[in-house]
Amino acid sequence: MEFYPLSNLYLQRPIWFLISLVFLLLLLLNGRVVLSDPNYLIGLGSYDITGPAADVNMMGYANTEQIASGIHFRLRARSFIVAQPQGNRVVFVNLDACMASQLVTIKVIERLKARYGDLYTEKNVAISGIHTHAGPGGYLQYVVYIVTSLGFVRQSFDALVDGIEKCIIQAHENLQPGSIFVNKGEILDAGVNRSPSAYLNNPAEERSKYKYDVDKEMTLLKFVDAKWGPVGSFNWFATHGTSMSRTNSLISGDNKGAAARFMEDWFRHSGIGNLYSDEGVADGIPRRVSNIIPGLHDNHHKLLELAASFQSPPGRPATKILSVARRVRGALRQADKPGFVSAFCQSNCGDVSPNVLGAFCTDTGLPCDFNHSTCGGKNELCYGRGPGYPDEFESTRIIGERQLKKAVDLFNTASEKLNGKVDYRHSFIDFSQLEVTLPKQGGGSEVVKTCPAAMGFGFAAGTTDGPGAFDFKQGDDKGNAFWRLVRNLIKTPGKEQVDCQHPKPILLDTGEMKKPYDWAPSILPIQILRVGQLVILSVPGEFTTMAGRRLRDAVKTVLMSGGNKKFNSNVHVVIAGLTNTYSQYVTTIEEYEMQRYEGASTLFGPHTLSAYIQEFKKLAAALTSGQSVEPGPQPPDLLDKQISLLTPVVMDATPPGVHFGDCSSDVPLNSTFKRGDTVKVVFWSACPRNDLMTEGTFSLVEILQGKDNWFPAYDDDDFCLRFKWSRPSKLSTRSHATMEWRIPQSANPGVYRIRHFGAAKSLLGSIRHFTGSSSAFVVT
């Protein structure tokens, strides 16, 4: 390298100015630096909502045998607030959870009102779930959704309410002037239609308008703080959270949770660097540690000598906050700068599966029956295959990475700035007997009604993502005598209900079942949030592809009608599925006729979609005219009626002479592992329900710096590290924690060890925190 005299540099200043200008333009073109006048106040937040990692049934597949027993990676609530200075504001919360819950929403709003008055209410706060089927259940208030979790699970509920409140508080406290950019793009390989026979029942003329039988478009928002630059992104894309199967027992955010982890790590590591560079992502998992561990010694013999000096010590007491202090992302966060928040939100995913290889019979390997998704007449043998088949973790990573890559591309190229009002409309609607006006062929109109909630026989068949049991099958519009007899022992539907739900044969008349309390919802929230030319439709269920298209088109027509100058031609309308509460599926009337799983799970009868379209058009008209809307009837708060049959933790114990945190199975002495290997360590442990380690970690991989300084490298939040908890029998007081670290290709060579944090309960009820560590080992 040569150095030039200062005088020469001064003489060449125009050249340096030109180089600097070109460099700045390149940055601008790549979307890495956005220089624009802020027009909103923006704030983002994020908080841990993982909940109980043991003993609790998982929400989604309704499989009684799917009981949580560890963590794949942690769950989070992520939020953004957008406000006009001295004007309206809206809040959107994205949950790494199966869906939103009416009861959770009610209690969050109560807390926000107690803290902020009328600043945040049910009108301008949206809480949406990504639809992972690998999170703890028991947090919804209606009976049918908590049967498999043995009723209400207070820990699941509290983790969600606390986490949502805290992430909104973070976003509120982070409010600063900033700008928002929107971008769109297609992902062609992250979702397929799992009910194509139902989709094909839609009119051919309508289907001809669309290239695909699922929506392929991702819509992304890029948040740019006027001081700090990019601080986050939220996107909406439709694909189910069912890459993880119905037999998985590790808590996981599935493909969307994984994509969020990957994107946050990508940004934190490389800032606004290149996703595809060697320093950006390896094996789909962004690097973090490589740039924070300087000067690692690469002499293998010396590394082995260092490792040999750190044998596994006995487990020892620890403080409650130790696992929080050792968190990887906690160590990386800049205290004076908002952390980057990325959310991959759900949309109209009702009939969209991430298992893109198709559905096949497990006994023959042949494709399943097209109309009924059966194999020899049995639904239990028909399973969808993800791109990593037969490895569900690999399928989760791949589908997550495909969403990540598109999101990063949209983030880096976003240039359309949101401008205009922040506004919202919200109403509660009783969908059990709502009158809906429909146009008649040949002119005129007719009035039809929705029905009290009911589920059809096809519901019990499940889907190709998670088949049901017994002799149920999708596409059953008749039912059978035996299951009708069983149904009638619970509740016999009346003729009016049977006629209203036709052609759905009713298996469970949930809308008319009230003991011990309501089995299904009837009063549902609908909501529109507006930020400039972006409009978010908050729907409390899973709309199928075509149902979502019809709703979006209907709302957009209202927004653009009559030469409305409040919205220009590039208005962006997105559906936020599973938002504010949950009411299962919404299909088109033609799909409903087919009575596959989605149609059989459309609760309020064949006119459910028409009812949504009618009511959302009213909200859209009020939004454009500036008029208010009727709030509607309040949904019930059933917290005091909840029943829980989940047994509490009585106590934890170890064999005589063994401490909590002791290694039960350590790494062999003088071990050396290569990248791509799996390191497995087993500790004597205690039930994870004793302390959820919220914003902390049960598992930790540490790397040695110097001779005695251990630095956190990977934890519960990392895709490559799995925490598995087990006990020899359900009533046993003894348990083990198994840590499995799949060493990523991006891991640095060096000396490592694996640690475990936990909390044990004594017979008298006191909680004692502990920690343990493995012997050190070398990674080359």
Catalytic residues: 353
CB 170 within 8 A of CB 79: yes
CB 394 within 8 A of CB 388: yes
* Phi, psi dihedrals of residue 645, rounded to the nearest 5°: -110, 5
3-state secondary structure 220-270: EEEEEECCCEEEEEEEECCCCECCCCCCCCCECCHHHHHHHHHHHHHHHHH
* 3-class secondary-structure state, position 338: coil
Query: What Cα–Cα distance (Å) separates residue 605 from each residue in 298, 538, 589, 593?
Result: 67, 20, 9, 10
CB 526 within 8 A of CB 619: yes
CB 201 within 8 A of CB 590: yes
Residue 182 in tokens: 């929107």
Query: What Cα–Cα distance (Å) separates residue 680 from each residue in 76, 314, 487, 583?
Result: 26, 18, 48, 42
Which residues in 436-460 are b (16+ Cβ under 10 Å) and which e? beeeeeeeeeeeeebbbbbbbbbbb
CB 547 within 8 A of CB 586: yes
Write the DSSP assignment of 74-88 as a string of letters: --EEEEEEEE-TTS-
* Phi, psi dihedrals of residue 6, rounded to the nearest 5°: -60, -35
Query: Tokens 């609790």 identify what position?
Result: 56
CB 722 within 8 A of CB 652: no
Contacting residues for 384 by C-beta, under 8 A, at least 6 apart: 194, 242, 353, 355, 357, 358, 359, 463, 464, 465
H helices, E strands: number in the chain? 17, 39
DSSP single-letter state for residue 666? P
Taking the C-alpha atoms of residue 111 and residue 104, their distance in angstroms, rounded to an integer, is 11
Residue 479 in tokens: 């039912």
* 3-class secondary-structure state, position 57: strand
CB 122 within 8 A of CB 109: yes
* 3-class secondary-structure state, position 393: helix
Write the DSSP assignment of 184-231 as a string of letters: EEE-SSS-EES-HHHHTTS-HHHHTT-SSSS--EEEEEEEEETTTEEE
Taking the C-alpha atoms of residue 648 and residue 665, their distance in angstroms, rounded to an integer, is 28
* Phi, psi dihedrals of residue 68, rounded to the nearest 5°: -60, 135
CB 667 within 8 A of CB 296: no
The one-letter amino acid at 578: L
Contacting residues for 262 by C-beta, under 8 A, at least 6 apart: 281, 284, 285, 286, 400, 401, 404, 719
Query: How many other CB atoms are there within 10 angstroms of residue 512's CB atom?
Result: 21
Which residues in 742-775 are b (16+ Cβ under 10 Å) and which e? bbbebbbbbbbbbbbbbbbbeeeeeeebbbbbbb
Taking the C-alpha atoms of residue 77 and residue 365, their distance in angstroms, rounded to an integer, is 39
First to last CA, the chain: 33
What would you report as the CA-atom Rg of the chain, rounded to the nearest whole angstrom?
27
Taking the C-alpha atoms of residue 243 and residue 361, their distance in angstroms, rounded to an integer, is 17
The one-letter amino acid at 677: D
